[in-house]
Amino acid sequence: MSEDRTAQEPVRGATALTVAVLAGGRSSEHEVSLSSGAAVRDGLQAAGHEVVWVEIGRDGFWRRNGEPLSVTPAGGLLGVDVVFPALHGPFGEDGTVQGLLETLDVAYVGAGVTASAVCLDKVLFKQLMSALDIPQVDYVGLTSERFAHAPKRALAELEQLGLPVFVKPAHMGSSVGIVKVSAAGELREALEQAFAHDDLVIVEAMATGIEVECGVLGTEVSEPGEIVLEGEWYDFGAKYSPGGMELLIPARISDSAREQVKRLALNAFLASGCEGLARADFFVVGDGERVLLNELNTMPGFTPTSVYAKLLAASGVPYERLLDRLCRLALERHARRRALVS
């Protein structure tokens, strides 16, 4: 990551902010979000900022100190300077909460409404990347309605991907609901399981190669890191169980592949309209010189030991400074947009 003057300044030398941390949410990633939010809260406090904790229950209610919270359009949120939505998955990372924060006229960290919605929809995101000729793993998007009306035709299309494949709900993160299918007879059951989570499913061909991730902060890209798995693939357990994976920084890839990863990460980030931050996931395949984009995560796991935070720390931006920088970027965007003539 190139030198960023603001990111390198001592956090405590800047003006302290009041930050609302949103955590929890209605999705199946509720507990992961609580862990991310708690880490963000502690990091912001360690950086000298005041934190207002807002927990969103599985029932969708927003609560402050256990009491339901009411908001008013254009009324801000609890008088804070900026909101950090440490939310993962639907009803938090898909543009819905971002839209609400826009109506409240409050600065918030991360991608806006459109980019959040596009990046959480794995099929729509891949279609956008295909239009830009960004190389990806082969895939097929499938709706539950289409599968119900023409299952044989859908299965025949999926057969073109070969085996094994990964069947995923299109709007979930943290590897929730993903099934690896190694035999054709397992495919229908895997689709039915995925449709229990989402009306839209994506089926991806398996990429055999090195799994690489890098972080974007503003318009700067971190040093790529390599995911080394204990198990067979990067499932929920590998992501959140101790010893399930190891992150190697720098990734064991060529200089050419490293530059491709960084260039494609920034291209995807800008093309999808992302702002503030994202984690870009890749496969480096074949002879080690072919790079395939897998996905862009607009609000990755946010504990100090999460991949995104480790990537930025290895690139010279420690956790507290990272949180501070993201809040400053959110304030800059909010001021810039408010200055526009409507």
Residue whose pair of structure tokens reads 């819905």 in the numeric block: 96
Least confident of 90-104, 169-183, 189-203, 273-287: 169-183
Domain shared by 20 and 157, yes or no: no
Is position 306 within any domain?
Answer: no
Is position 39 within any domain?
Answer: yes
Domain shared by 194 and 237, yes or no: no
CATH classification of the domain holding 254? 3.30.470.20
Q: Which two tokens stand for residue 135?
A: 């190389």
**Please, which contacts does 162-167 make with residues 24 or more away whose CB atoms are closer than 8 Å?**
162/205, 163/206, 164/206, 165/203, 165/204, 165/205, 165/206, 166/203, 166/204, 166/206, 166/233, 167/191, 167/193, 167/194, 167/201, 167/202, 167/203
Q: Is 281 a catalytic residue?
A: yes
Give ∠ CA 252-317-222 in degrees, rounded to 5.
35
Domain shared by 128 and 274, yes or no: yes
pLDDT higher than threshold 60 for residue 229: yes
Half-sphere exposure of 315 (CA within 13 A, CB side): 25
Last residue of a domain, one of 155, 183, 205: 205
Please, are residues 52 and 67 in contact by the beta-carbon 8 Å criterion? no
At 243 the pLDDT is 60
Is position 255 within any domain?
Answer: yes
Please, are residues 37 and 86 in contact by the beta-carbon 8 Å criterion? yes
Q: Is 342 a catalytic residue?
A: no
Last residue of a domain, one of 205, 232, 255: 205
CATH classification of the domain holding 97? 3.40.50.20
Domain shared by 30 and 131, yes or no: no
Q: Is 297 a catalytic residue?
A: yes
Domain shared by 104 and 220, yes or no: no
Domain shared by 168 and 212, yes or no: no
At 242 the pLDDT is 58
User: pTM for the complete prediction?
Assistant: 0.91
Instruction: Report how many domains make up the chain.
Output: 3
Range(s) of the domain holding residue 94: 5-109
Among 222, 272, 297, 306, the active-site one is 297
Domain shared by 57 and 173, yes or no: no
- Look at residues 314, 310, 311, 252 and name the one whose alpha carbon lies nearest to residue 284: 252
pLDDT higher than threshold 80 for residue 136: yes
Among 26, 27, 28, 29, the active-site one is 29
CATH classification of the domain holding 184? 3.30.1490.20
Domain shared by 147 and 275, yes or no: no
Q: Is 29 a catalytic residue?
A: yes
Among 81, 301, 315, 319, the active-site one is 301
At 245 the pLDDT is 83
DSSP structural state of residue 288: T
Is position 331 within any domain?
Answer: no
**Please, which pLDDT band fits residue 2 given cuts at 50, 70 and 90?**
very low
Last residue of a domain, one of 205, 234, 262: 205
Domain shared by 29 and 125, yes or no: no
At 244 the pLDDT is 64
What average pLDDT does the structure give for the chain?
92
Among 240, 273, 316, 333, the active-site one is 240
